[in-house]
Amino acid sequence: MTRAADTPLRAADGVATRATRTAYPAFPACPGGPAGPAVDPVADPAGDLAARAAELVRDAVLGDLARRVVADCGADVGLVGVPGTGTGARTGTGTGRAAAGPAGMVLCHWAGTRADLLHDLAVPAGTGLGGRALAERAPSWVPDYRAATTISHHYDAAVTAEDLYAMLTVPLLHGGTVHGVVYASLRAVVPFGDVRIAAVSRLAAAATRALAGAAAWAGPAVAAPRAALTRREHEVLSWAATGRTNPEIAAQLGLTCNTVTGYLKSAMHKLGARNRTELALVARESGLIG
């Protein structure tokens, strides 16, 4: 078995990836690499060229990550979810289209799949095992996804179609930003040992470093304007992000439960969050809370 930490990431070969299939008009690619964007170097400004190049590298890195989870870590299926809405994102039942939401992701890269129900699947933060890893910013795993009682079961149809049981998810974190979540899944009920968890985590760390380097090509990011939270809204949000309930926050700050609820609703509206989980995630990504 090739050690994940010793092998450099390379362009994805034979990995199904929605973005690399459809995002750009294809032109003859370099040997061993995915098709790239059809860019006119004269017509496009330098900044646009850099952004397109960074996006191409990002897709190649994440597609390769899905493949290497299968090839190097002994998983049957590798998946990578990318934050965003996704143009073709589907619901967990496969019966309609849905956006993942501002704090969710879409499964855009995969390797080892037999069906297509997991392809382009929208995963809001906090739902399923991957959504939980995205919201909590920590690895999560279960030996039997279908029998697990600690996660939501929004995606049982897709998981059953792939005959998957054991599942591990690891968030791709760098500088406080979540670049995505990588999944390692097996078609058997088995506990995840430290060796396999460490191997997937090393791959995730290497991919995240590559993504950070690609992002640097596009130049300094323009910070989005932060929502103007009041002092009380910020205090209530900070306590809510630690998992405190509304009555606990009310007792801590000397407020009524209704007042705490009002502050949280106001903060959700300002930050575009739909629930407490999204609110905490968006607040952290915006730098409003640590």
Pairing of β 140-142 and β 167-174 = antiparallel
93 and 34 housed in the same domain: yes
Q: What's the pLDDT score for residue 92?
A: 54
Q: What is the mean pLDDT of residues 45-70?
A: 83
The answer to whether the beta carbons of residues 109 and 15 sit under 8 Å apart is: yes
Report the first-to-last Cα separation within the chain, whole angstroms: 39
158 and 243 housed in the same domain: no
Q: What's the pLDDT score for residue 117?
A: 94
Q: What is the mean pLDDT of residues 180-200?
A: 93
Q: What's the pLDDT score for residue 22?
A: 30
Model confidence at 11, pLDDT cuts 50, 70, 90, reads very low
* Domain that residue 277 falls in: 231-285
- Domain assignment present for residue 225? The answer is no
Average pLDDT, the chain: 77
The answer to whether the beta carbons of residues 289 and 238 sit under 8 Å apart is: yes
Q: What's the pLDDT score for residue 67?
A: 97
- Domain assignment present for residue 226? The answer is no
Angle between the N-to-C axes of helices 46-73 and 194-217, in degrees from 0 to 180, rounded to the nearest 10: 170
The answer to whether the beta carbons of residues 163 and 189 sit under 8 Å apart is: no
Structure-model confidence comparison of residues 222 and 206, the more confident one: 206
Q: What is the mean pLDDT of residues 118-122?
A: 93
153 and 16 housed in the same domain: yes
- Domain assignment present for residue 272? The answer is yes
- Domain assignment present for residue 224? The answer is no
Q: Domain total for the chain?
A: 2
Last residue of a domain, one of 217, 248, 270: 217
Residue 220: pLDDT above 60? no
Structure-model confidence comparison of residues 124 and 221, the more confident one: 124
- Domain assignment present for residue 52? The answer is yes
Model confidence at 32, pLDDT cuts 50, 70, 90, reads very low
126 and 159 housed in the same domain: yes
193 and 249 housed in the same domain: no
Cα separations (Å) of 89 from 63, 92, 122?
17, 10, 5
- Domain assignment present for residue 165? The answer is yes
Per DSSP, the three-state class of 230 is coil
Residues sharing a CB contact under 8 Å with residue 176, sequence separation 6 or more, in sequence order: 284, 285, 287
Helices marked H in the chain: 18-22, 46-73, 128-136, 156-161, 194-217, 231-240, 246-253, 257-271, 276-285
Structure-model confidence comparison of residues 284 and 207, the more confident one: 207
129 and 193 housed in the same domain: yes
71 and 182 housed in the same domain: yes
Residue 268 belongs to a domain with what CATH number? 1.10.10.10
Q: What is the mean pLDDT of residues 248-277?
A: 88
Residue 144: pLDDT above 90? yes
Name the strand (E) or helix (H) holding 107. Answer: strand 105-111
Residue 128 belongs to a domain with what CATH number? 3.30.450.40
Residues sharing a CB contact under 8 Å with residue 206, sequence separation 6 or more, in sequence order: 4, 5, 9
Q: What is the mean pLDDT of residues 284-289?
A: 75
19 and 163 housed in the same domain: yes
CA max distance for the chain: 66
Name the strand (E) or helix (H) holding 77. Answer: strand 77-83
Angle between the N-to-C axes of helices 276-285 and 231-240, in degrees from 0 to 180, rounded to the nearest 10: 110
The answer to whether the beta carbons of residues 142 and 151 sit under 8 Å apart is: yes
Residues sharing a CB contact under 8 Å with residue 239, sequence separation 6 or more, in sequence order: 248, 249, 252, 253
110 and 13 housed in the same domain: yes
Q: What's the pLDDT score for residue 91?
A: 53
- Domain assignment present for residue 120? The answer is yes
